[in-house]
Structure 1
Amino acid sequence: MLVNNNYLIFIGIFLLSPTAFASSNCWNGSGTAFNFGTSTQGQANSTTGRVIFTCNNYENSTRYIRACLRLQDEAPLSMRTNSYPANELYFNLYPLNDQSIPLSRSTQQYAQIDYVLPTASTKEAYFNLSAKIIPNQTSLVASSYYNYGFTTVIKFMAAEKQAQLPGCSAMPETNLRTVQSSASTEIRPGCQIDSVSDMNFGTLSPVSGKKLASKTTAKITARCPVNTSFYLGLGPGLHYKDNSRQLCNQGNCVSYQLYQDAANSAPWGDSIHTNTVSMVSDNGNSQSVTVHGAIPPQDWPVSGNYTDTVVVTLFY
Structure 2
Amino acid sequence: MNRLLLCCLVLIGGLGLMWAPSAQADVTCQSGIQNGGINFGNVDPSQSTAVDVPVTINYTCRNTDNQDAQLTLCFNIGYGSAGAAADGNRQMAGAGASRLEFQLYRDAAGGYIAGSIDEATMPQPARDVFTVPRKRWGAPGTYSGTVNIYAHLPGNQSSPVGSYNASFTPKLTGNFGNVSCLNDSYDDGISTMSPFTVQATIKPSCSAVTATDLSFGQSTGLLTANMDGTSVISVTCVNGTPYRVGLNDGTSASGTARRMKLSTGNDYVTYDLYRDNGYSQRWGNTQGTDTVAGTGSGFSQQIAVYGRVPPQVTPTPGSYADTVTVYVYY
TM-score bucket (shorter structure): 0.7 to 0.9
**Cα deviation per residue 1:74-119 (whole Å; 9 max; x = unaligned)?**
54222223x4x34222211122544224333333353232223333
Residue equivalent to 1:237: 250
Distance 1:19 1:276, change over 3 A: farther
Pairing of 1:1-316 with structure 2 (within 5 A): 22-31=24-33, 32-43=36-47, 44-73=50-79, 75-81=88-94, 83=95, 85-104=96-115, 105=119, 106-120=121-135, 121-140=141-160, 142-147=161-166, 149-159=167-177, 165-169=178-182, 171-172=183-184, 174-176=186-188, 177=191, 179=193, 180-202=195-217, 204-207=218-221, 209=222, 211=224, 213-248=226-261, 249-252=263-266, 253-281=268-296, 284-316=298-330
Q: Is this contact kept in 2: 1:246–1:254, CA < 8 A?
A: yes
Contact 1:69 1:153 in 2 (8 A): yes
Distance in 2, Cα, partners of 1:221 & 1:143: 24
Identity among equivalent positions (%) equals 26
Query: Quick one: distance in 1 between partners of 2:235 and 2:247?
Result: 14
- Cα distance, 1:53 vs. partner? 2.4
Answer whether contact 1:66 1:114 (CA < 8 A) is retained. yes
Report if the CA contact (8 A) 1:212-1:299 is conserved: no
Structure 2, unpaired ranges of 5+? 1-19, 136-140
CA 61–199 in structure 1, closer or farther in 2 if over 3 Å, else same: same
| Cα shift at 1:206 | 2.5
Instruction: Give the aligned length.
Output: 286
Provide the rounded CA distance (Å) in 2 between the counterparts of 1:280 and 1:98: 35
Rounded Cα–Cα distance in structure 2 between residues aligned with 1:132 and 1:216 = 45
Flag the 1:211–1:133 CA change in 2: closer, same or farther, 3 A: same
Contact 2:103 2:113 in 1 (8 A): yes
Contact 1:38 1:187 in 2 (8 A): yes
**Alpha carbons 2:57, 2:146 under 8 Å: kept:** yes
Does the 8 A contact of 1:65 with 1:115 survive in 2?
yes
1:271 and 1:64, CA in 2 relative to 1: closer, same or farther beyond 3 A? same
**Distance change in 2, residues 1:53/1:270 (3 Å):** same
TM-score where L is the length of structure 1: 0.78
Contact 1:47 1:132 in 2 (8 A): yes
Q: Could you say if the C-alpha distance between residues 229 and 90 of structure 1 is closer, same or farther in structure 2, counting changes exceeding 3 Å?
A: same
The answer as to whether partners of 1:41 and 1:188 remain within 8 angstroms in 2 is no
Label 1:53 to 1:214 Cα distance change in 2 as closer, same or farther (>3 A): same
Q: RMSD over aligned Cα, in angstroms?
A: 3.0
8 Å CA contact 1:245–1:256 kept in 2: the answer is: yes
Aligned-pair CA distance for 1:224: 3.5
Shift, 1:69, TM fit: 2.6
Contact 1:24 1:158 in 2 (8 A): no
Q: Distance in 2 between matches of 1:115 and 1:206?
A: 85
State whether residues 29 and 62 of structure 2, in contact with CA within 8 Å, keep that contact through their aligned partners in structure 1: no
Q: 1:27 to 1:276 in 2, by over 3 A?
A: same
Name stretches of at least 5 consecutive residues in structure 1 with no aligned partner: 1-17, 160-164
| TM-score using structure 2 length | 0.75
Q: Deviations over 1:243-275 (max 9, x none)?
A: 222222143332221111112111111111121
Question: Going by fraction, where is strand more abundant, 1 or 2?
Answer: 1
Q: For 1:21 and 1:270, how far apart are their aligned partners in 2?
A: 80
Which amino acid in structure 2 is aligned with residue 102 of structure 1? I
1:88 & 1:178 partners in 2: Cα distance?
Answer: 29
Secondary structure of the 1:236 match is coil
* CA drift at 1:178: 5.3
